[in-house]
Amino acid sequence: MEPVVEREVLLPATPEEVWESLSEPEWLGAGAHIEMRPAGEVRAGGRTGFVEWVDAPAGIAFWWSEDGGEATRVEVALEPEGDDTRLTVTESRPLALLDAVGADLHLDLGVPRPGMPELLAR
């Protein structure tokens, strides 16, 4: 995966209407599950993770990974544009740089590992 993948689309709806659709986990795929709250669980298509933040109807960010795979961060932003909404999805690998230099963010800085939301609740 590239370090950052970003896609955007202009939707003929208000941010509130788009947010309502995002509140249904099916936007992540059939059988998906997402708890729309900080430290909430995310499961979709063999990936698991946790919600970083939620700011309805402006957006959501979460981390996820396949079992044993590299964690990525997904941010979904909703911005009003006239009568429409610009939806931007950005998936990035913020830990890739630290991996490249051999740093262990989890040990060096005490940051919770993606997929461990119970540590965020402390």
CATH classification number, 4-120, choose in 3.30.530.20, 3.30.1490.20, 2.60.40.2550, 3.30.390.50: 3.30.530.20
Mean pLDDT of the chain: 84
pLDDT of residue 96: 63
Write out pLDDT tens, residues 2-57: 678 999 999 999 999 999 999 998 989 999 999 999 999 999 999 999 999 999 99
pLDDT of residue 68: 83
Q: Are 83 and 11 in contact (CB under 8 A)?
A: no
Residue type, 84: D
Distance CA 79, CA 10 (A): 9
Write out pLDDT tens, residues 47-57: 999 999 999 99
pLDDT of residue 1: 56
The three-class DSSP label of residue 18 is: helix
Residue type, 35: E
Write out pLDDT tens, residues 76-119: 999 999 999 999 999 998 776 555 555 554 555 555 555 554 44
Residues 6 or more apart in contact with residue 46 via CB below 8 angstroms: 66, 67
Domain locations in the chain?
4-120
pLDDT of residue 122: 39
